[in-house]
A and B are shown apart, each in its own frame.
Chain A
Amino acid sequence: MASNKKVLLKVIILGDSSVGKTSLMNQYVNRKFSNQYKATIGADFLTKEVTIDDRTVTMQIWDTAGQERFQSLGVAFYRGADCCVLVFDVTAPNTFKSLDSWRDEFLIQAAPREPDNFPFVLLGNKVDLEPRAISAKRAQQWCQAKNNMPYFETSAKEGLNVEQAFLAIAKNALAQQNQSVDLYNEFPDQIKLTNTQKSNGGGDSCAC
């Protein structure tokens, strides 16, 4: 039943400026990489169709502005997200440190139903570059503390691990969406209940 329905997965990529959010997305969707840096203004999205467990889903990948000065535009697109991808640069320690605040900001703005179980995926980008500042171990430790968040080491330039990472992202997003559908099904009468209460109240006032 559900497999016939067209599924749209909304994925948000967050992280400090120049960690490679746009490049990762471009590498994944268009298989292209450019050495030139161009700051993203506000936000934009690309879509890609993927097949997961025989289901065709459309991924709507939102690339965001990491630079503070381009954040005056709003972040309403956080709402209804199915998965959040946090990106840091393995050669720049500051980008790792600010992951916490990116995660918090997302949870506040997106206001998901269950913040603790919301799927995040961490990507350590630019592994083709030397010297490394954040070891894989340190990143994994951080992930463990955050509800066993999956961690991938990628290189948008070489196309390393990008496909695998986004497949995991899609799977997590799909699982989240199914879960939230189940959540509604568990309380099918929820809306009806308030309705009857209202009509009861109306009846009472009429009787008076």
Chain B
Amino acid sequence: MSNNKNKDDNNRPITSSPASTVSGKTSVSEDVDQSLPNNLVCEELQLAINKEASENDLTQAINRCKELILENFECSIERKWLVRHLIELRLRKQEHREAMADPQHPGNKSSGVSNRTIKGHHLKLQPLLKTATHPYCDHCTGTIWSVVQAWYMCDDCGYCCHYKCMSSIVRECAHVVACERGQYELRICPEIGMAEQKYLCAECGTQLVLNKEWSDIRRCDYNGLYYCSACHWNSSAIIPARVIHNWDLDPRSVSQSSLQILKVTADRPLINLEKLNPQLFTRIQELNLVKRLRKELQGIRKYLLVCRRANEEHLIWKCDRPHLIENLDMYSLQDLVDTHSGDLPSKLHNFVDIYTKHIKVDCEVCKGRGHICEVCKNEEVLFPFVISAFVCQNCKAVFHKSCMERKNNECPRCLRIRKRFESELESINDEDK
């Protein structure tokens, strides 16, 4: 069991545990309460569960809830649940009424503040009582009690905060930062030192106090800066620089801002591994395999792009990571993690199989666009993307590798073209004379 969990963690570049300093684990009894007893399922709609309700709806739901309580036996699970729900509904109604009275309150839709743009975040008002688990506020680190507290989440980076914290947000949207920078920090933990930071938290600027008994200063392994515990929750993430240089996929503790940057960029093809560390391909076998498969897929792509049927079937769009087919060199962090776990090679194998089936078996036109080795004149149709094929760089003709070796790597087609060209030149010269 624990092994499984560990494996799952390894397959993700980022694991974010709730802040170690924030004690906010929901109690077990509360978890139980969240689930609706089976015999009340049919009443779900009337009880206004999980939906945004108007004041009228809530009043109706409260009345319905009261009726149901009377119908159910004392001390039954249903009744307990209904009583709790009734309280929740009354709280919501109260909150609702307050919201309508306060023109600045986000719950008041007429005030037009359900969307806000602050520091690049596109903050959107979240519905009350939306989730069973309560998120933490990225600004004040407190739990967001989503039942009663109005809260916002950024559409781009997932930054969460209370309505009350919105005015004092410090962190810029990770999506914006990642887009502007366009590249990962490629040095491994580039520390500049506490003194250089003037003993201030790199994000919020609070004084970092060196205290021997209880140190509250935390270093982010991604950018090497020091943070206070409010900006660094000891979340862990796989560090791109360590992967690129050392193929080290162990998660390290990072600040929340780095974590969000790593999260939004995990699927973006930002790493040019061929340029940054070409030696990795010779050392890591799986990576070499992925490289080979990508090369094959690129050859296949040429066929699919010009095939009418493949376009109609949207074959090329079946791949969920198009950059793997479109180019050879760019990898996303997730690609590298999946390469390590072995998911990516099997995935690519799968795509190669699907695509080659189309080209070699299903599609008459693609089959016709194959090559026949001129040297051995074998009937077998040869494609430039298979391993046994040799492609002439000059005229793009395709032969068997073994056949080409017999011919001393001299392309018979190029030879022919050259001869024809020479004879044409001669005939022109003759005409001139």
Contacts and interface: CB of A to CB of B under 8 A. Distances in A.
Given A42-B306, A44-B308, A45-B364, A74 B370 contact: yes
Interface residues of B, number: 23
A32 B410 CA distance: 45
B396 A75 contact: no
Contact of A77 (B368, B382, B416): B368
A99 interface: no
B383 interface: yes
Contacts, number: 57
B281 to A, nearest CB: 26
A116 B308 CA distance: 35
A43 B396 contact: no
Interface stretch (B157-165, B241-249, B342-350, B372-380): B372-380
A76 B371 contact: yes
A118 to B, nearest CB: 16
Contacts of A41: 306
A111 to B, nearest CB: 6
Given A44-B365, A45-B365, A74 B302 contact: no
Contacts of A74: 368-372, 381-384, 398
B321 interface: no
Given A42-B365, A76-B372, A111-B377, 6 more contacts: A74-B372, A75-B371, A76-B367, A76-B382, A101-B420, A104-B420
B368 A109 contact: no
A197 B369 CA distance: 38
| Overall SS of chain B's interface | mixed
B420 A109 contact: no
Contacts of A34: none
Interface in B278-312: 302-303, 306, 308
Q: When A and B form their complex, which 3 residue pairs have the shortest distance between CB atoms, in order from nearest? A: A77-B368, A74-B371, A72-B396
A71 B379 contact: no
A75 B369 CA distance: 5
Interface in A5-30: none
A40 to B, nearest CB: 10
A77 B369 contact: yes
Contacts of A42: 306, 365, 369
A105 to B, nearest CB: 8
Contact of B370 (A62, A72, A76, A111): A76
Given A42-B369, A43-B365, A43-B368, A73 B306 contact: yes
B93 to A, nearest CB: 65
Given A74-B383, A76-B381, A101-B420, A62 B306 contact: no
B303 A73 contact: yes
Nearest to A73: B369
Contacts of B365: 42-45
Interface string A165-183: 0000000000000000000
Contacts of A73: 302-303, 306, 369
17 contacts: A42-B365, A45-B364, A45-B365, A73-B303, A74-B370, A74-B372, A75-B372, A76-B368, A76-B371, A77-B367, A77-B368, A77-B369, A79-B372, A101-B420, A104-B420, A108-B416, A109-B374
B69 to A, nearest CB: 72
A73 B369 CA distance: 6
Contact of B369 (A76, A101, A104, A111): A76
A41 B416 CA distance: 23
A43 B374 contact: no
A75 B395 CA distance: 13
A112 to B, nearest CB: 12
A73 B368 CA distance: 9
Contacts of A78: 372
A43 B364 CA distance: 11
